[in-house]
Amino acid sequence: MADSTVVTTVQLVVVAVAIFVAAFTQVIAGFGFALLAMPIMTLAVPVEKAVVVSTLLGMVSTSWLAWHLRRDANRPLTKRLALSSFVGMPLGLWILNVVSDRTLRLALGIAVLIATALLVRRINLAHVGPGLDVGAGFMSGVLNTSLSTNGPPLVFDLQARQLPPNEFRATITAVFALGNVVGLSLFILDGKITREGMHAALVALPAWVIGQGLGWPVRKHVHGERFRWMVLTLLFVAGTSAIVFALV
């Protein structure tokens, strides 16, 4: 089914479920859209198609959230992460075109679990210079256009810098929004925006709206240590899922 060039009803349902879960989670945590949407979508559609759907709807989601949360964003940090991510995006697009799905998922899962383990130990890198942000941003850009899962390096960077929840959400969302615009532009230039991908994204749009609407009432109850453990749990689930899907 995943290799079909025509998007079936079952595939569209899977995509819609993935987008609902991802949109609901992103409102609460500030990230997790592609991290959750990609593993679920790739159960039914190829990675290359899932990346396009995730980027299309991710751009809508992150742009809206970034505007809503803009007052809490750390602007210097956002600028460093976004600009360095732009540099990594062409490499990610090249990787998407030449590396197998299985290898990409396995590498992603291992990297996410390593970052999660470091964060569980409450690693504090607030004293480290901007090189940390540049490196995290570059890796985020590579992952953005190769797997549409650019969150792990950014989450690691912002959590290690001990950002409070509101600043964390606003900053990471701003970087996502800027990255999605550039990533989508690269996909258009590379001819990856197909009619089937557009159709799948359009059909899943109501699921995104519902997920967003249900997420906001829950968001106000998630803060402090509860917020930290939600972030860690999402990373663990995403990393484990990527590895499992790579091995099956």
**Is the pLDDT assigned to residue 7 strictly greater than 70?**
no
**Is the pLDDT assigned to residue 141 strictly greater than 90?**
yes
Evaluate whether 174 touches 70 at the Cβ level (below 8 Å): yes
Task: List % helix, strand, coil for the chain (3-state, nearest 5).
Answer: 80, 0, 20
- Say what the pLDDT of residue 84 is: 96
How many folded domains does the chain comprise? 1
* Residue 1 in domain: no
* Residue 3 in domain: no
Q: Give the chain's mean pLDDT.
A: 82
* Residue 76 in domain: yes
- Say what the pLDDT of residue 223 is: 65
**Could you tell me the pTM of the whole model?**
0.73
* Residue 121 in domain: yes
Q: How confident is the model at residue 171 (pLDDT cuts 50, 70, 90)?
A: very high
43 burial level (CB within 10 Å; 0-12, 13-18, 19+): middle
Mean pLDDT of 39-61: 79
* Residue 129 in domain: yes
Evaluate whether 39 touches 65 at the Cβ level (below 8 Å): no
Q: How confident is the model at residue 3 (pLDDT cuts 50, 70, 90)?
A: very low
* Residue 36 in domain: yes
**Which domain range does residue 180 map to?**
9-247
* Residue 4 in domain: no
* Residue 64 in domain: yes
